[in-house]
Amino acid sequence: MLLAAEEQTALQALKRKKRYEKQLSQIDGTLSTIEFQREALENSHTNTEVLKNMGYAAQAMKKVHQNMDLNKIDDLMQDITEQQDVAQEISDAISNRAGFGDEFDEDELMAELEELEQEELNKGMRDVKLPSVPSTSLPSRPASTRKRVEDEDEMKQLAAWAS
């Protein structure tokens, strides 16, 4: 009998546990539903505020643009462009000296500049002081120094050309 009473108590405890688990599941579902509703309500409130502010912005833009006419703006922009063109013409007229500038051919000027540069280069080459060439003959050297001898011959020729 004692065993049957303990089984009965354990069975009742198990039934209570199942009931509590079911209630917990229902409460959890209810809380989830309430959370979703709260988020939906917050989103609705945010959307309402955004829409209200968009309405205010539209009204403000209407008020600002009320005194503006697209034709007047186009005319004003055209006037500004014309005045900028006039100012540029005046600036060009003041900055161009009369009788100078356009009468020279740029190719001729470039050719003259190159000629002057070449003359300056030639003048600089004439002023270069080269060392004097020794008058005594040098002893013959092995083949490895043949290159040096050739270089010295070239230097003699260059000195003779520069003189």
Is 86 a residue whose pLDDT tops 80?
yes
Looking up tokens 């005046």 gives: 90
For 55-74, the pLDDT digits (tens) are 999 999 998 888 888 888 89
Q: Could you tell me the residue range of the domain that residue 60 belongs to?
A: 1-68
The b/e string for 33-63 (b: 16+ C-beta within 10 A; e otherwise) is eeeeeeeeeeeeeeeeeeeeeeeeeeeeeee
Residue 115: closest CA among 104, 126, 123, 125: 123
Residue 82 lies in a domain: no
* CA-atom Rg of the chain in angstroms: 52
Q: How far apart are the first and last CA of the chain?
A: 142
DSSP 150: H
Residue 54 lies in a domain: yes
Residue 59 lies in a domain: yes
Residue 146 lies in a domain: no
For 95-120, the pLDDT digits (tens) are 876 655 556 788 888 999 999 999 88
Tell me the C-alpha distance between 82 and 95, whole Å: 20
Number of domains in the chain: 1
For residues 129-150, give the mean pLDDT.
69
Going by pLDDT thresholds of 50, 70 and 90, the confidence category of residue 77 is very high
Tell me the C-alpha distance between 159 and 133, whole Å: 9
